[in-house]
Structure 1
Amino acid sequence: MHILLIEDDPFIARAVAAALESEAHTVTWTPTGAEGLAAIEMRLPDAVLLDLGLPGLDGIDVMKRIRAMPAPASALPVLIVTAREALESRLEGLDAGADDYVLKPFHMSELLARIRAVVRRKGPIKDDVLRAGRISLNTVTHTCNVGGIAVTLSKREYSLLAALLVRPGAILSKRALEEKLYAPGEEPEGNAVEYLIHALRRKIGSDAIENIRGLGWRIRAD
């Protein structure tokens, strides 16, 4: 998943981002509400982690502005993460449209579980497993199977394979795949896509990913 973290404390932001990335999620971090809203317009995330005590635009106002956005942004799963313990603050956040609420300090395992629960509730009803031929990829557990045999993938191998499996047979360019592998502002490594495809072919089958010369790559649909 691509998760937008709107948090002004860099220490907390780094810790949360590292934990999320260790679970193969992509994280975009913004320290202000205004930057967070701009990030949503630039690239729609799968979920938002929103602090209330933000400089400038308060978290409650950010929440209201997200819900006022055109669809599908208005329906984004939003989890408020804050140190405000007062019941009134929690209720205000929920009334503004938040889907869940976690108080600081929190355990990362709880935060991850709540993110998964919120995304399941808010997302469209669909299979959590992407499939093409003998390959299956669980988007919740991030486990991969090829012909019933478990295959271990790195974080970026998972992200690249997931991008191809969303639409089996569709061709994705190098630039499109880089956008799935790197957060906005990150500089793509020169031959990262080619290297990852080579590594994936060794794990899921040499003929599983086709190169369409001059256009990009696609996963075999059969």
Structure 2
Amino acid sequence: MTSQLLMIEDDGRLASMVVEYLGQSGFKVTHAVDGETGLEQLQILQPELVILDLMMPGMDGLEVCRRIRSMQGDMARVPVIMLTAKGDPMDRIIGLEIGADDYVPKPFEPRELLARVRAVMRRRGDNSASGVVRESQPLRFGSLEIDRDARTVQVNGQPCELTSYQFDLLVALAERSGRVLTRDQIMEAVRGRELEAFDRSIDVHIGRIRNAIEADSKDPKRILTVRGVGYVFAKQQD
């Protein structure tokens, strides 16, 4: 089954190249030239992933991402890969903070974007990307429940809103509870060796996860920081 993707990008030449390349790899990519059109297409197409340019005239990629994450239902959780031409790490951090799952700096090779798309969709458990569906028991830590098959997280029975990438980070930590992991180990567990890592993005995502699952994100009890090393998911909670 062909996966439907949506690319929101004002550079028509770049978009044409991406549409053609990803199309040859089994993806159907619809191109929207600006943020407003992209949001309209999002509701119509219900894509499985969005490729979103950061710098666009009018509504920029950050605002588009904010609006996606504020939507109701499944579209609020659609994976977003952000394209950025800027070299300032703060642009990437801001994008991740507002809910982007990954980023690709411009200029990029189409093969790298394809790898990123496949990696995000594998993490999401999409059949068209991996061909494998795993059945597993929910992970439970006190009032926290992580359902890997349904890709949902609840605390005291209340759902927690996480992006696809944040969900996979949480699972990677929870499956290794009690074990201290470096940022490199966390990224390897979630994203794979073949993709370039941006280690500070882990800190941003961990902060978002804490906001969602901790009673007090400033005094976390579930995901603990090990100074100079990385993070550990506490075995004993609540």
Name the TM-score, length of structure 1 as normaliser. 0.56
Q: 1:62 aligns with which of 55, 61, 64?
A: 64
Q: How many residues align?
A: 129
1:53 match: secondary structure: coil
Q: Which residue of 1 aligns with 2:115?
A: 113
5+ long unaligned stretches in structure 1:
129-138, 143-222
Q: 1:5 aligns with which of 1, 4, 7?
A: 7
Aligned-pair distance for 1:141? Answer: 6.9
Aligned-pair distance for 1:82? Answer: 1.8
Work out whether 1:22 is the aligned partner of 2:24: yes
* 1:120 aligned partner, one-letter code: R
Q: Which residue of 2 aligns with 1:92?
A: 94
Aligned-pair distance for 1:42? Answer: 1.0
Equivalent pair of 2:122/2:129 in contact (CA under 8 Å): no
For 2:130 and 2:71, the matched residues in 1 are separated by 31
User: Structure 1, residues 68-117: CA drift from partner, whole Å, max 9, x if none?
Assistant: 01110000010001211111101010001000010011111111111111
Equivalent pair of 2:5/2:30 in contact (CA under 8 Å): yes
User: Structure 1, residues 169-195: CA drift from partner, whole Å, max 9, x if none?
Assistant: xxxxxxxxxxxxxxxxxxxxxxxxxxx
Q: Which residue of 2 aligns with 1:101?
A: 103
Q: Which residue of 1 aligns with 2:43?
A: 41
Moved over 6 A (4+): none
Q: 1:141 to 1:71 in 2, by over 3 A?
A: closer
* 1:86 aligned partner, one-letter code: D
Q: Which residue of 2 aligns with 1:165?
A: none
* 1:84 aligned partner, one-letter code: K
Work out whether 1:72 is the aligned partner of 2:86: no
For 1:116 and 1:140, the matched residues in 2 are separated by 6
Aligned-pair distance for 1:62? Answer: 0.3
1:80 match: secondary structure: strand
Rg larger in 1 or in 2? 1
User: Structure 1, residues 16-60: CA drift from partner, whole Å, max 9, x if none?
Assistant: 111011112111100100100000111200100000111111110
Q: 2:129 aligns with which of 140, 144, 157?
A: 140
* 2:35 aligned partner, one-letter code: G
1:120 match: secondary structure: helix
Quote the RMSD (CA, aligned, Å): 1.5
1:92 match: secondary structure: helix
| Identity between Structure 1 and Structure 2 (%) | 41
